[in-house]
Amino acid sequence: MFGENPCDTIMIKCTLKKYLIGVVILGSEADQNDTNVTDDTTVDKGLSLQLWRIQGNLDEEVIDEFYERGAVDEDSFTWTAFPYLEDINRYLVKLASSYPYVTVTAIGWTSRHNPISMLKISNERPGNHAILIEAGMHGNEWTTVLSALYFIDSIIPDYKRLSAYLKNRDWYIIPVLNPDGYQYSIDFDKTWNKNRRKFNDGCIGVDLNRNFNYNWSLSGYTRAKCDSSYSGSFPFSEEESKAFKVRPFSIYLFF
């Protein structure tokens, strides 16, 4: 059934199942009622993989189990779960009030009236180079958000002991560029990647990663509003992408 070259097959290890809660992976020719993902499921590379989201009670059970892990403990992150948007914003404000070299500002507001928060870490030394770290452009990129928060949590308490090279930089960190999409993905649809702007025809959302002016609407883009990769009506049409359009940075890092 499979080619002799091991690269002709895809191995789906059971260890991946914990990252695919509520999702079953099937070959396009498989019987959906009988197929299970076992310890080692080999799928022919020629078959298209389809993701079938499990609906109904399972969705509710998965969400309940997810939140029972506890993302926040006494205003600190546990790093064992993904936090709510409100917990993230509260955490950023607390940092700004606790450390003199930390400020937090809303660089924009989403269509659902959520702030796009940016944290700045700086000794305000004249001539500092600016470094931007952005995460959470897609709503379902939860780990990027947690990575940005972990970086913040690691650098701020020890800021005074950092090397001059690190301290003589202005760090700008946007933990969640797509607040609406992030919260919606956690609450309702783990696959949701766009923002939550609502259009008159009933379609919702723009893929922010495709809303910039570089090669806008070319390969990999779509003008179909209900498609998950809809690039918007024009470059920088969305509040999220416009939020840091005019901000000059020496280095741009994205998770």
Q: Final residue of a domain: which of 135, 156, 181? A: 181
Is 199 a member of any domain? no
- Mark which of 153, 181, 209 sits at the end of a domain: 181
Which residue segment(s) compose the domain that 11 sits in? 6-54
Determine, yes or no, domain membership for 90: yes
Other C-beta atoms closer than 10 Å to the C-beta of 94 total 14
What pLDDT was estimated at residue 61? 56
At 165, which helix (H) or strand (E)? helix 164-167
pLDDT of residue 107: 93
pLDDT attached to residue 164: 83
Q: Is residue 243 part of a domain?
A: no
- pTM, rounded to two decimals: 0.70
Give pLDDT, residue 65.
54
Domain presence at residue 11: yes
What local confidence, expressed as pLDDT, does residue 178 receive? 97
CA atoms within 13 A on the CB side of 6: 1
Q: Are residues 87 and 50 in the same domain?
A: no
- The number of helix segments (H) and strand segments (E) in the chain equals 6, 11
User: 148 and 103, same structural domain?
Assistant: yes
Query: What is the mean pLDDT for each group of 10 consecutive residues in the chain (255 residues)?
Result: 39 42 41 42 39 44 52 65 90 94 95 96 91 93 92 89 84 96 94 95 94 78 87 93 72 56
CA geometry: angle at 184 spanning 180 and 187, to 5°? 145
Domain total in the chain: 2
Q: Residue 93: phi, psi to the nearest 5? A: -65, -40
> Do residues 220 and 177 lie in contact, with contact meaning Cβ atoms separated by under 8 Å?
no
